[in-house]
Structures are given as C-alpha cells and as structure tokens.
Amino acid sequence: MTSLEEKIDKYHTERMSASERDSFEQELASDPSIRAESEFQESIIEGLKDFRKAELKNRLNAVDLSPAWFEFAQQSTLMKSFGGIAVATLIGTGVYLLADRSPSSKNEDPIEVDHPQLALNLNLLDLAPYNLQIKEPGIFQDEVTSSNISAAVTQEIDNENSFLDLSETAEEGTSFEPIFNAPEAELISDEEALKISQLDVLPETTIEEEEAPLEVDYEISKNLDIKYKYYDGKLFLSGDFDRAPYEILEINSAQGRRIYVKYLNKFYQVNTTDRLTRLPEVKNVEVIKELELLRVNK
C-alpha cells in the first residue's frame, strides 16, 4: 500500500494519532486530488460498513423470537413445579413402558411370573421373542420353609416366536431353584434368532455421524431464482420465500453430508460454494422419489 493510500485508510478508520490527523487534514485542504481520492475511499468504506450492518440485521431478522417452552417454564415458580412434575411423570411412564415392553409386538401374553423371586427383568436381552410361564402352585398355599419349598416350575414356550425350549418341571421335594431363561450361547449365534425386524433397520443414508449442526440463514428477495452459498457448515439462501416455507433436508452418511432444499414442491441440491449461486434443481426422478420417502419417514 502506498503511503497516500495508507494515510487515507488510517484517516477513515480512525487509526491515526492526533498529530498525524492534523497534518493529513492540512494535505486534504491544500490538494484537491488527495481530497477526491479520500472522498472516493470514504464512499467505499461507508459502503463496506453498510454492507456489514445489513448482514448483521439480516442475521437478527432470522432469529426465532418465539419463547422456547423451557424459557417460559423458567419464568414462574408454578411453571417450574409443573415442569418438574411433568418431567418426572414422563420419565416414570417412559421407564414403565420400557420395562414392561414385550419383546415382540405379536406377543399378546408375554410373561407371567407367579413367584416374586422370579420377577426378573426379562427384557435385558432384546433377542428373539418368547413366551414364558413359570408356575409354582404350592408356594403360597402351603407352609413354606426355606429348606423345603414345594415348587413346580413349568415353562410354556410360544413355539411360533421362540427359539428355546425351556419346558421343564422341577422335581417335587427339591429346593426351589429359579430357572433363568437366559438363552444359551450357541443359540444366540443362530442367525434366525438374531434377525432384527426390517422396520428397525434404518436406511444406510440416514446414519447420523453428526458433524457440526447446519447453520441456515436466509434473506427475502423478489428474485424468483433461489440463490445460495454453502461453506463451513453455513447455508445462506436468498429468494422469494414469502410465498411458502422452505425445507432443508440434511442427509449424513458414510459418504459425507448431503443437503437438499425443498421449496414449492421442487427439490434443489446444495453444493459447497462461497459465491452466491443459483440453486440447482434436482431433475432425477429416482432421487426425487428417494428424497420424498426420506422426508416422509424422517
């Protein structure tokens, strides 16, 4: 940077000392060409400032001002108490449902345990579904001693869903030994037994190996073309979004992150670029079908 440019730059960015400033102002007053260049540079600097200001205001316009529910809850003690009770209830219900969940949706009569000592959590291993009934008829009717418990344990296995035949009857007069229905190791390795419902298998493309969350910013423009920039995990959109809301589809897979924008029933693909570029529309019917499917199932 030449000395004059440097001086003008310092002058307009207030990076000059008082004496430097005075001497430069004298130069400005005496030389019209310096004055013209200074005014030209001032316009550019003002333009840059306005640009940045507009950028920051755009950012503020995109801030969601609706209070989040937890912020609302923070505002009053009553809401805090209510929130606490609600959370506790939710956790309780969740734990109950998880603990009580049958291994199979087909299992209408899942597990009956008549003996309190056998009240085991049978859901520890979410393996193949089975029905188990353990009965010990004498235990509550008769006098019970610790050394001699009259127990008859029967187990009924739902043949349709099970891979274990645990039907056994304990001999009369022997001390009661609960039979744990843990599957045997060799049976666990049975591929059929370990088969997971297809519904539980997520498509490969939705493996969420989370990168930094996508940051989306936008501006409303009257231009019908949607333009965008995408770099550093930040997506900036510019277009006439007054007509309908847009949707962002973010697909994280082993191949990396893919981003699509859906607007007015059209899909657009986002590629990495730091230039304001027209958003390319996805034309491939197969890709559109796949995206619709993902969208519906997300």
Partner 1 sequence: MKDSEILQRISKGDEQVLDYLYKKYYGMMTRVVLSNSGSEEEAKDVYQEALVAFWQKAAKGDLVLTSKISTYLYSICLNQWRKELDKKSRRQEEEVDEGYYQSYESEERSKIVHACIEELGEVCRKVLTHYYFDGMNMQEIAAKLDFANTDTAKTKKYKCKKKLDQLIKNRYSTEDFFD
Which positions lie near partner 1, rule CB under 8 A? Answer: 1, 9, 13, 36-37, 39-40, 43-53, 55-57, 59-61, 63-65, 229, 231, 274-276
Instruction: Indicate the residue among 13 and 265 with the shorter CB distance to partner 1.
Output: 13
Shortest distance (Å) from residue 74 CB to partner 1: 12
The CA distance from 179 to 181, in Å, is 6
Pairwise CA distance, residues 173 & 186, whole Å: 32
For 119, the token pair is 């009240």
Query: Sign of the CA dihedral 184, 185, 186, 188?
Result: positive
How far apart CA 179 and CA 241 sit, in angstroms, is 65
Going by C-alpha positions, the residue among 212, 293, 226 that lies closest to residue 257 is: 212
Residue 130 or residue 228: which is nearer to partner 1 going by CB?
228
Residue 50 vs 112, nearer CB to partner 1: 50
Residue indicated by tokens 């207030």: 14
Nearer to partner 1 by C-beta: 59 or 101? 59
* CB nearer to partner 1: pick between 21 and 115: 21
Give dist(CA 263, CA 223) in Å, integer. 14
The token pair at 30 is 């005496």
Q: How far is the CB of 274 from partner 1 (least distance, A)?
A: 4
CB of 251 to partner 1, least distance (A): 24
Q: Rounded to the nearest 5°, which phi and psi values hold at 183? A: -65, 150
Phi/psi for 46 (5° steps) reads: -65, -40
CB of 51 to partner 1, least distance (A): 5
Least distance (Å) between residue 52 CB and partner 1: 4
Nearer to partner 1, 229 or 262 (CB): 229
Residue with tokens 């009553």: 78
**For partner 1, which is the closer residue by CB, 275 or 298?**
275
Distance set, CA 216 to CA 53, 96, 136 (Å): 19, 39, 63
Whose Cβ is closer to partner 1: residue 69's or residue 140's?
69
First to last CA, the chain: 55
Q: What is the Cα–Cα distance from 73 to 168, expressed in whole angstroms? A: 56
